[in-house]
Amino acid sequence: MIQSHTIKTPNRSSGRNKNRCLSCGTSVNMGKRRYCSIECRQYLRHQLNVRTGLLKALNTRYATFYFNDSLIFMDVLPFDAIEIFSFIFPRSQNGKPVEDFKRMADHLGNAWWAEVRRTRRRYLASRHLLEQASRNHARLESIKPFEIKKPAHIGNSIIHLKLDRAQLEDPQLLHIIKQAYRRQAKKYHPDQGGDAAAFRRIHEAYQQLLVWAESPTFVKRRGFPDKWFYDGIRNRWIQPTPYPGI
């Protein structure tokens, strides 16, 4: 039975504040990184994407995957639902979250197929699985990904001029760029005893931002900073967005 694996009253926040690899769970030498290695990130992406059949069977519009010290979570919002269904499984002892996810998804998939064989109705199997899930009374925004905009094609220019990303949408952007350039140029100009290489980078950043300001372009990303989310329209899992300000 699925219920024997489901925990109804979890503490979702416990342990989630640690900066750990989102795949293997290690916190050793992580710094601000999300993964301990490229291979770890790729492995998690692969294991999530090869198990999207379960989410398609549940008619999923959005889903999220995350974990804490003792539990793994997969929250699901079907297309035709107004509440979130949470599948919550215990972590295996000394196990990696990615392996725990595989175990959970395979268990749910096997339960779905068993119900299909019993009822000969796929929609009844999907309903059965959702009935075994815990009802999550969080706001739907907790699973609907929000969109962030990141300026494109400006590299580290705003860093060199000490600008904030929010200023890039200011109506007085050209004036702000020129003021920032004057401040940094005065500080680093070789004639004032500054560093020539630093001044050159500042001037290049100034030129790049002037060109960008004439025709601003942004890259849009949807997601959450602390968990993977599944997009049912695209039928794929998407990795976390950068933390605000990074």
Contact 205, 156 (CB under 8 A): yes
Kindly report the CATH number assigned to the domain that includes residue 184: 1.10.287
Q: Are 80 and 101 members of one domain?
A: yes
Asked whether residue 243 is domain-assigned, the answer is no
- Do residues 172 and 54 both lie within one domain? no
246 assigned to some structural domain: no
Q: How many domains does the chain have?
A: 2
Tell me whether residue 245 is in a domain.
Answer: no
Residues 6+ away with beta carbon under 8 Å from 167: 158, 173, 176
Looking at the fold, whether 122 and 9 belong to one and the same domain comes out as: yes
Q: What is the pLDDT of residue 7?
A: 43
Q: Is residue 189 part of a domain?
A: yes
Whole-number pLDDT of residue 165: 79
Find tokens 């005893």 and name the residue: 193
Alpha helices in the chain, H assignment, sequence order: 38-49, 52-57, 97-119, 122-132, 157-160, 173-188, 196-214
The predicted pLDDT at position 33 comes to: 83
Question: What pLDDT is stored for residue 10 in this prediction?
Answer: 54
Name beta bridge partners: 76: 63, 85
Q: What gap in Å lies between CA 72 and CA 93, rounded to an integer?
A: 12
User: Residue 8 above 50 pLDDT?
Assistant: no
**CA-CA distance, 38 to 219, in Å (whole number)?**
23
Residue 189 and residue 83 share a domain: no
Residues 166 and 204 in one domain: yes
Determine the Cα–Cα distance for residues 205 and 193; give it in Å rounded to an integer: 20
Work out the number of other CB atoms within 10 angstroms of the CB of residue 181: 20
pLDDT band at 78 (very low <50, low <70, confident <90, very high): very high
For residues 172-186, give the mean pLDDT. 91
Confidence grade of residue 108 (pLDDT, cut at 50, 70, 90) = very high
- Do 229 and 212 belong together in one domain? no
Residues 131-151: what's their mean pLDDT? 83
pLDDT (tens digit per residue) in 189-235: 888 888 889 899 999 999 999 998 888 887 776 778 889 999 999 99
Please provide the average confidence, as pLDDT, over all residues in the chain. 86
To which residue do tokens 């269904």 refer?
A: 85
Residues 141, 171: one domain?
no
Whether residue 69 sits in one domain with residue 186: no
Do 20 and 119 belong together in one domain? yes
State which amino acid sits at residue 105. Answer: A
Global confidence as pTM: 0.70
Residues contacting 112, CB < 8 A, separation 6+: 54, 57, 125, 126, 128, 129
* HSE-CB of 156 using CA atoms within 13 angstroms: 5
For 154, other C-beta atoms within 10 Å of its C-beta total 20
d(CA 224, CA 142) in angstroms, rounded, equals: 9
pLDDT band (50, 70, 90) for residue 86: very high
Same domain, 119 and 170: no
Residue 114's domain comprises: 2-145+223-238
- What's the rounded Cα separation, in Å, for the pair 69 and 189? 52
When pLDDT is cut at 50, 70 and 90, the band that residue 152 belongs to is confident
Residue 151: CB partners within 8 Å, gap ≥ 6?
158, 165, 168, 212, 216, 217, 218, 219
pLDDT of residue 34: 85
Q: Is the pLDDT of residue 18 over 80?
A: no
Q: Do residue 27 and residue 51 come from a single domain?
A: yes
52 φ/ψ angles, rounded to the nearest 5 degrees = -75, -15
Residue 150's φ and ψ, nearest 5 degrees, are -125, 125
Domain match, 135 and 191 both:
no
pLDDT value at 5 more than 70: no
Percent of residues, the chain, with pLDDT higher than 90: 53
The pLDDT, as a whole number, for residue 149 is 72
